[in-house]
Amino acid sequence: MADTSLPEAMADAARTRGWRDRAILLVMFAAAAALPLIADAAGFPATTGIATQIACLAIAAASLNLILGHGGMVSFGHAAYFGLGGYAVGILWEHFRLGEPIFGLIPGSNQLLVTLPAAMLVAGLAALVIGALSLRTSGISFIMITLAFAQMVFFLFVGLKQYGGDDGLVVRRRNLVPGLDLREPAQMYWLCLGLLALWLWVLHRIVRSRFGRVLEGIRQSERRMAAIGIATYRYKLVAFVISGVGCGLAGALMVNYLRFASPEMMSWQRSGELMLMVILGGLGTTLGPVLGAGALVGLEYTLGGITEHWQFILGPILVLIVLFARGGLMSLLGYGRGRG
Amino acid sequence: MSVLLAEQLLNGLQFGVMLFLLAAGLTLVFGIMGVINLAHGSLYMIGAFGAALVANATGSWWLALLAGLAAAALVGMAMEFVVLRRLYARDHLDQVLATFGLILFFNQGIILLFGRQPLFVDLPSWFSGAVEIVPGVPYPSYRLLIIAVGLLVAAGLYVLIQHTRIGMLVRAGATHREMVRALGVDIRLLYTLVFGLGALLAGLAGLMAGPVYNVQVGMGEQILILTFVVVVIGGIGSVRGALFGALLVGLTDTMLRGFVPGFLRGMLPPDQADALGASLSSMGVYLLMALVLLIRPRGLFPAHG
Amino acid sequence: MNRRAFLTLGTAAAAGLSMPAIAQGAPLRIGMITTLSGPGGYLGQDIRDAFQLAIEMDQGRLGGQAVQVVVEDDGLRPGQGKAIAERYLRNERIRLFTGVVFSNVLGAVAPDVLDADGIYVSPNAGPSNFAGRECHRNYYVVSWQNDSLHESAGQLANTLGYRRMSILAPNYQAGRDALTGFKRLYRGEVVQEIYTRLDQTDYAAELAQIRSARPDAVFQFHPGGLGIAFLRQYAQAGLLQTIPQCVAAPSLDSTTLAAVGDAAEGVNCTSHWNTDFDNAPSRRFVEAFRARYNRVPTYYAQQGYDTALAIGAALRQTRGSIDPAAFRTAMLRADFESTRGRFRFGPNQHPVQDWFHIRAERVGGNLALVTKGRVLENHGDAYAGQCRI
């Protein structure tokens, strides 16, 4: 990846700030919010469900993008935090259902306002521990060590008989939130969409803050940043934890939507898929991961409906995108960071 | 107990050798061209399917051997020529995305060609029996063959890399890629050849795995991640590292599976001990990799300066 | 699968996408969510092919009602299965479902179908939670409850007089259930309990442990491709001559047998059905399946076929209606000629059936699965008592 030159980045930022883009964003958000109504009217109500999945995965992909696109840290193990967030919801539900506290201490819960922060906390703590160790390495070693830790978490949950092991954990009812009825597909979707918008805004603010600029500097040249007296390790670790927290949030929402948590959520294939979404959409762009998540899930879903050999078509499409649409979908739309 | 230990050591050695055949190609491609090729496992699968197809059609093991090697090498070189060649200058992420697409394509392609039923290959008749390594303990002679072939390949690669002109270029390429290019070596040809060699070895592993494991769709991905673990533990670009890494991973995995549950059973109720033991031994290899990387971030035998 | 079948299915699925509601007099649509890709793909393929066969043999009908099956691949991913179920339920208003192969996909699919007042008829997976406390009025299993497969193997081990056994299964829910099920009826001593991995291809380490423990026999549960690898390596290690195997159906189906070859000779197995069953429906099924698909049907195929027959019998009585209450009354009568002979539903709507001893033997030069006798009669499952419908 060639380094982005500073003037280009500034021009980019200026463009994003332009009123035209704001208007486009507003229209897009309005369209996304109106989706359940349109889907119902058009006779395809299940589209809302797919959109919910996309929103959840987009939160995870956008979080991964913070370290992948902005920090240059290629984590091949982010499904672990996604899964941990999901299992936090699942395990809290299981203990709520049984009426037994976890380790005899922490009571179970079915309140979203409890389970979401819990999921983010668990995922964040895991990211702190794993990140603290992994960030001592870089390059390929970093890719592989994050994978190694994710595999350990995966096998841990496969072996946890109490929580269903490989078969997963059924969450019979979605969590409760005051003022919302999550059993209603549209309301579940709006919750995910709202949190996605909020999380994108938070990430955008982070990227544009001093912290974000240091992170970008580390991506371009860690040595340069260290030379001007910045403790790069600490910046990288904080970014790693934030992205873990985001994946935990995404996983918690996903389990609420699926009403099911399983180790499959943390498999290395899932980590790969999250990376795919980021790359497909466009590294280091705010909306890229959202587009990537939408494109990948949408393609799988549509192709799967047309032929059972959908992978035979999806595979070459991915190859073509890499070869001919460098910088992902965002660059096709003229918004890329102009890689290479 | 010591007989069991000896047998498990052989098992670990055999598994390690298998991993080495896959890892050798991967580490060269990784080290010399800087390409992460997730589709390396697909070449393993193609070698296995090519050999199984010919073995079942002709009944000749030698023809099957040729077919498996040829299929893997040809598909490998085609893959390099059509897709990977365009990715050398790209970053790892693009390579991951493209080769992931190739995995989907190859897996589904095999389903279209062969269907979903796993294929079966007979053992070559002169290796179908067992040899008594210790009186009363037979060991499958085919597994001994795998060990022998693997060690021969390792020796062959050593000679090739240390004592031939191509090997010199390969070594140079792994440490100073730009310099080799600057010296006017036809780097494209070298790349295609190295890739073909890697594919050939993956095909060899696949066709030898056929009679023991399953010839089935997705067989490459089952072993792919472990192969990457081997490459990283050994040090990227180093064939010697791949050999040591493979043997280390093979032995660790086998020993943990063989002895941890029994060890835990002394301390815990049997069903808990077995389940915990299985989880621990699954994690073992990854724990090993994490430890190696924390102590030596570039692996045990780094090729680059 | 041949090209034509692929095209028909493709168009059926494509047509399904663009048909929002069921028109009056249109065929009843059945949603089949099954696993067609990956190493487990052949299980789903057999279930689907046999289910389609039953419909073809009835000229596009089940129980006099014209039906259309829409099939989609869950890729062994619970999330994908759920997305398909949701689309079928909400976009296409399908109310009758079948097809799921693996318990973990079922865990994601079944609650959605049942909560939407849909009906699910299982052709394969029968996990314990849905047989016990989580049982449901609109959830039927035509195959078996997971545990009973292995209970029958435990009983067979008693009959064959094995007093010390090593038992193995992959470390996942169905694997652990298998060992629990086996031990429930087995009266001898379990000298060794070994958990393997789902992604494992080499069993040498486990085989060495078995050899050193010297049990009378081995029980192992390794479905699909895992079983092929295990059995083959077991034979290659020369263990089959000294330590016989006594397994349940999923570890030795006709695909496994074809793949393992001569090595499998003499393996004992239990099943609820076998290709050589001497009753008219079974003969008819085996013949038709062979003629249509040019391969020997597996247990999975038989389960798919029987599922179609069971649904057909219910539809005949309700005259094509799938109103849950009427369908339930009709379904529970199980008024169809099962390929396995006797069949009825227990109180938890899981099968009560006989289990048989099967052996891999040489018949006219070829290795085949031969039925040797009955192991268990009218056997239900251990969870029926927990179910309150």
Q: What CA–CA distance (Å, rounded) separates A156 from B183? A: 51
pLDDT tens-digit series, residues B262-282: 787 777 776 667 767 777 777
Per-residue three-class SS string for C220-289 = ECCCCHHHHHHHHHHHHCCCCCCCCEEEEHHHCCHHHHHHHHHHHCCCEEEECCCCCCCCHHHHHHHHHH
Residues of B in contact with A326 (CB under 8 A): 90, 94
Q: How many inter-chain contacts (B to C, CB under 8 Å) are there?
A: 125
Query: What kind of architecture, by CATH, is found in domain C4-144+277-345?
Result: 3-Layer(aba) Sandwich (3.40)
Q: Assess B87–A contact: CB distance below 8 Å, yes or no.
A: yes
**Cβ A136–B101 below 8 Å, yes or no?**
no
pLDDT tens-digit series, residues A290-322: 999 999 888 887 887 777 777 788 888 888 888
pLDDT at position A340 is 32
Residues of C in contact with B142 (CB under 8 A): 236
Residues of A in contact with C174 (CB under 8 A): 166-167
**Cβ B275–A159 below 8 Å, yes or no?**
yes
Residues of A in contact with C221 (CB under 8 A): none
- Chosen for mutation from B257, B280, B282, B286 (greatest number of chain C CBs closer than 10 Å) is B257
Pairing mode, if any, of strands C28-34 and C65-73?
parallel
Q: Which domains does chain B have, with CATH numbers?
A: 2-122+141-295 (1.10.3470)
Pairing mode, if any, of strands B130-134 and A169-170?
unpaired
Q: Report the largest interatomic distance among the alpha carbons of chain B, rounded to a whole angstrom.
A: 67
Neighbours of chain A (3+ CB pairs under 8 A): B, C
Domain map of chain C by residue range? 4-144+277-345, 147-271+353-386
The beta-carbon neighbor of B122 closest among C204, C224, C261 is C261
Q: What is the mean pLDDT of the segment spanning A35-46?
A: 86
Collapsing DSSP states into helix, strand and coil, what is residue C92?
coil
Q: How far is CA B192 from CA B80, B83, B159, in A?
A: 7, 12, 20
Going by pLDDT thresholds of 50, 70 and 90, the confidence category of residue B115 is confident
b/e code B198-223 from CB counts within 10 Å (16+ = b): bbbbbbbbbbbbbbbbbbbbbbbbbb
Q: C-contacting residues of B 29-58, CB under 8 Å?
A: none
pLDDT at position C285 is 96
pLDDT at position A45 is 82
Query: What residue type is assigned to position B273 of the chain?
Result: A
**ipTM confidence score:** 0.77
The token pair that represents C79 in the structure block: 């999330």
Question: CA angle B123-B128-B133, nearest 5°?
Answer: 135
Question: CA angle C57-C61-C64, nearest 5°?
Answer: 115
Residue of C nearest to A170 (CA): C107
pLDDT at position B271 is 64
Q: What CA–CA distance (Å, rounded) separates B305 from B300? A: 13
Q: Assess C164–A contact: CB distance below 8 Å, yes or no.
A: no
**Cβ C38–B122 below 8 Å, yes or no?**
no
Q: Assess B298–A contact: CB distance below 8 Å, yes or no.
A: yes
The beta-carbon neighbor of C259 closest among B115, B118, B217 is B118
Q: Assess C21–A contact: CB distance below 8 Å, yes or no.
A: yes
pLDDT at position A269 is 81
**Cβ A152–B287 below 8 Å, yes or no?**
yes
Report whether pLDDT(B138) > 70. Answer: yes
Residue of A nearest to B283 (CA): A152
Q: What CA–CA distance (Å, rounded) separates A120 from C318? A: 51
pLDDT at position B1 is 58
Residues of C in contact with A172 (CB under 8 A): 111
**Cβ B271–C36 below 8 Å, yes or no?**
no
pLDDT tens-digit series, residues A190-248: 999 999 999 999 999 999 999 999 999 998 888 898 899 889 999 999 999 999 999 99
Q: Assess B104–C contact: CB distance below 8 Å, yes or no.
A: no
Q: Assess C60–A contact: CB distance below 8 Å, yes or no.
A: no
Q: Classify domain C147-271+353-386 at the CATH class level.
A: alpha beta
Q: Assess C209–B contact: CB distance below 8 Å, yes or no.
A: yes
Distance from CA of C96 to the nearest CA of B (A): 27
Share of chain B above pLDDT 90, in %: 27
pLDDT at position A87 is 96
Report whether pLDDT(A257) > 50. Answer: yes
| DSSP E strands, B172-290 | none
Residues of A with CB under 8 A from a CB of B: 1, 68, 74, 133, 136-138, 140-141, 143-145, 147-149, 151-152, 155-156, 158-159, 161, 268, 272, 275-276, 279-280, 283, 309-312, 314-319, 321-323, 326, 339-340
Going by pLDDT thresholds of 50, 70 and 90, the confidence category of residue A8 is low
Whether B144 and B13 have beta carbons less than 8 Å apart is answered as no
Distance from CA of C246 to the nearest CA of B (A): 21
Whether A123 and A251 have beta carbons less than 8 Å apart is answered as yes
pLDDT tens-digit series, residues B83-113: 888 888 888 788 888 888 898 899 889 988 8
Q: What CA–CA distance (Å, rounded) separates C259 from B165? A: 45
Residues of A in contact with B111 (CB under 8 A): 309
Q: Assess B293–A contact: CB distance below 8 Å, yes or no.
A: yes
**Cβ C201–B209 below 8 Å, yes or no?**
yes
Question: Rounded to two decimals, what is the model's pTM?
Answer: 0.80
pLDDT tens-digit series, residues B34-83: 888 889 999 999 999 999 999 888 888 889 999 999 999 999 999 998 88
pLDDT at position B303 is 67
**Cβ B7–C238 below 8 Å, yes or no?**
no
The beta-carbon neighbor of B97 closest among A309, A310, A318 is A318
**Cβ C39–B219 below 8 Å, yes or no?**
yes
pLDDT at position C2 is 39
Residue of A nearest to C34 (CA): A308
Residue of A nearest to B298 (CA): A141
Q: B-contacting residues of C 260-319, CB under 8 Å?
A: 260-261, 295
Q: Which stretches in chain C have pLDDT values below 70?
A: 1-25, 38-39, 199
